[in-house]
Amino acid sequence: MAGKEELKLNNSNINFTSRMLRIMRSAENEAAIFSNLKVLQPVHLLIACLNEKTGVLGEISLKCTIERTSLRALNKNIDNPSTQNTTNSIFFNVGVTEDVIKVFEVAISYMKKYNQTYINEGHLLKALITTNVIDSFLSDEDRKIILTLGTTSRDMITHLGNYIFPKINSHIIRKVNNNDATNLVPFVENNFSKEWSQTIREAFLLSEPSIYIALDNKGEIVGFAGFDIYKNKKCYFGPMGVSVSNRISGIGYSLLHNCLKDMCDVGYEYAIIGGAGPIEFYEKACNAVVIPYV
């Protein structure tokens, strides 16, 4: 599972992925070494993202024309104490500008909008771009690349041929029967989207829908996952969803591996994970990698 750090903001616990925590600590280091003010600014977060080079951030580093040395030099030219309102933040061990606070507030709003529970680098990058706080550091082309590669759901792929499946607790996970449609379709529509619920509705027209559900102690549905059901695409895992109150408990991990095991048994050498939002979850859960844009 992704690492997390719980911090208080507006009386809510905020979770960060492991990659986000590395970015935040790297940004602190940038501020300490390269800033005249020794205060963390939005550009330090951008540089930290470029330093990371894992997941989609490596792809962004390769395709953008941004040079970190140029960013540092440009920042030093505008690193003027008279123009910076600084404050403290629960997120960092150094002082930050008010723009950094604004970026994280917007990143949190994106996390909530997408019905997610961890702040990831996609939320941060989108907040950096949409708040316009790094406009002077980016060309229009670089801005477009960051938005395209770093802030949208991406397809991923995992190799099943030699995959060693973990032992998982499956007592609350089972494959659907035809009677489950009555409860599953509205669960998906109410907790996720009409598009996903339509996918599930159509899957129940198949003789054996390849869908698993997770049940709580009362027998209520709290999660689901399927494969080979989205637009009749073969080797295609998804959609998958777990109700917000039941996340960070291993249910998604169990649903994923029940489906992947079936896909392996069918004879699939690879599984495509379509439109993955929590990229780091799939990287860690099943060694999936992002399929690069050509």
pLDDT at 82 over 70: no
For residue 2, pLDDT beyond 50: no
| 242 DSSP β-pair partners | 223
Domain boundaries, the chain: 7-152, 158-290
CATH 3.90.190.20 fits 158-290, yes or no: no
Q: Is residue 204's pLDDT more than 90?
A: yes
Q: Of 176 and 83, which is predicted with more confidence?
A: 176
Supply the pLDDT for residue 83. 56
Predicted confidence band of residue 68 (pLDDT cuts 50, 70, 90) = confident
- Mean pLDDT of the 180-209 span: 96
Per the prediction, the chain carries an average pLDDT of 90
Q: What is the pLDDT, as a whole number, of residue 74?
A: 85
Instruction: Flag whether the pTM goes above 0.85.
Output: yes
pLDDT at 152 over 80: yes
> Does the pLDDT at position 113 exceed 60?
yes
29-55 pLDDT, tens digit each: 999 998 877 899 999 999 999 999 999
Q: Write down the pLDDT at residue 7.
A: 42
Percent of the chain with pLDDT over 90: 76
Q: Which distant-in-sequence residues (6+ apart) come within 8 Å of 127 by Cβ?
A: 103, 104, 106, 107, 110
* CA gap 28, 106 in Å, rounded: 20
Q: Which CATH superfamily is domain 7-152 in?
A: Clp, N-terminal domain (1.10.1780.10)
**Residue 180 reports pLDDT greater than 80:** yes
Query: With contact defined as beta carbons under 8 Å apart, do 267 and 106 qualify?
Result: no
Say yes or no to pLDDT of 173 above 80: yes
**Which tens digit of pLDDT belongs to each residue from 219-240?**
999 999 999 999 989 999 999 9
What average pLDDT does range 231-251 have in this prediction? Answer: 91
How far apart (Å, rounded) are the C-alpha atoms in residues 143 and 139? 6
Q: Which of 16-20, 218-222, 245-249 has the lowest mean pLDDT?
A: 245-249
